[in-house]
Amino acid sequence: MTIRERAWIQGRSGLNARAARLKVGDRSYIGPNAVIGLGGPVTIGEGVQIGAGLTITAEAHEGDADGSFVTGHVSRTGVTIGDNCWLGNNVSLLDGVELGEGCIIGAGAVVTRSVQSYSVAAGVPARIIRKIR
């Protein structure tokens, strides 16, 4: 686990980790009540601001041929948040998501797919609603 200088994780946040695969960049802030599941690697860039109630699920249970999620395959691709992103309160990021640099994610969004740099995304599931640049 690497938490850089001047990074801050607010109280009552939880890390669920099989391996120490969390990296938090310099000057990044994670608000209270975050839950970060570290089945896969999670990288949070520099200058990232994250509101309260973040959920990161860095693994996905894909199930097997008989529909069982208990014995089925589990992917652990991970989640990456680029530098200078801003995430509102109660955002959920699912396994395999990459947020490019400078993204803004609206409060309550469930991000199921990667978001290009300098995009604003919101909704359930999250969709790009505009480009910043």
pLDDT for the residue numbered 103: 98
Q: What is the pLDDT along the chain (133 residues), one digit of tens a residue?
A: 677 777 777 777 766 666 568 899 999 999 999 998 878 899 999 999 999 999 999 888 776 666 666 666 778 889 999 999 999 999 999 999 999 999 999 999 999 999 999 999 999 999 999 999 8
Q: Is 73 tagged catalytic? A: no
pLDDT for the residue numbered 12: 73
pTM over cut 0.85: yes
pLDDT for the residue numbered 38: 79
Three-state SS string over the chain comes to CEECCCCEECCCCEEEECCCCEEECCCCEECCCCEEEECCCEEECCCCEECCCCEEECCEEEECCCCCCCCCEEECCCEEECCCCEECCCCEEECCCEECCCCEECCCCEECCCECCCEEEECCCCEEEEECC
Residue of 21, 27, 61, 76 with catalytic role: 61
Q: Considering the domain 2-131, what is its CATH architecture?
A: 3 Solenoid (2.160)
pLDDT for the residue numbered 76: 85
